[in-house]
Amino acid sequence: MSIPTAPPSLPSGRDVDDRGETVLARRVLEKTASQVARDETFAGGSSGGFLGIGSRADLSARPDASVELAGNVASLKVTVGLPYPMPLRQTTEQLRRRITERVTELTGVQVRQVDITVSWLKPPQRDPRGRRKLQ
């Protein structure tokens, strides 16, 4: 039994383009953008329900994202929910910047545009026990 000592080498003179191609599915970009939005910003999504019916606002869920690809350039549309009150312009600008940087960094696809729709705002919840402190 012999152990190969050197990795198999490509035939000489073969072009890099002929070795194959790597395809990144659009869905991967959408999930990456959603995950970045959830993990690295204040944005949330919706959870539960069936076919979008009965879903509820959830700040720990991934926001919805859709991607349009043109070559190596992507345009994203993200639908998010945010805590309330929060400065919406600043928060969404931070979200846009973060998604642009991280998706480009993680996937190599250049994100040109991120359109954001704020679909719900979640005010702070009261004490679930319904009790209030006497002052």
Partner 1 sequence: MRHHSGKANRTWLIILGVLFLAAGVLAALIAAGGLERFIGGSPGRSDRVLSETDGQGFLAGEYVPWGMLLAGVILGVLGLWWLVAQVPRSRPAGTFRLQEDPAHGITVCDPQVLASAVSHETEQLPGVVGSTVRLRGSADEPDLAMKVTVNSDADVQGVIARIQQEVVPHLVSALEVPLNTFGLEIDASNKAGAPGGGATVSSRGTVVY
Tell me which residues touch partner 1 (CB under 8 A): 75-76, 84-90, 92-93, 96, 100, 113-123, 126-127, 130-132
Answer positive or negative: Cα dihedral of 129, 60, 58, 48.
negative
CB of 112 to partner 1, least distance (A): 8
Cα distance from N-terminal residue to C-terminal residue, the chain = 83
State which residue, 39 or 101, has the beta carbon closest to partner 1.
Answer: 101
Q: What's the maximum distance between 2 C-alpha atoms anywhere in the chain?
A: 83
Q: Is the peptide bond before 85 cis (omega within 30 degrees of 0)?
A: yes
CB of 6 to partner 1, least distance (A): 49
State which residue, 37 or 114, has the beta carbon closest to partner 1.
Answer: 114
CB of 37 to partner 1, least distance (A): 13
State which residue, 54 or 130, has the beta carbon closest to partner 1.
Answer: 130
Task: Report yes or no: 30 and 71 within 8 Å, Cβ to Cβ.
Answer: no
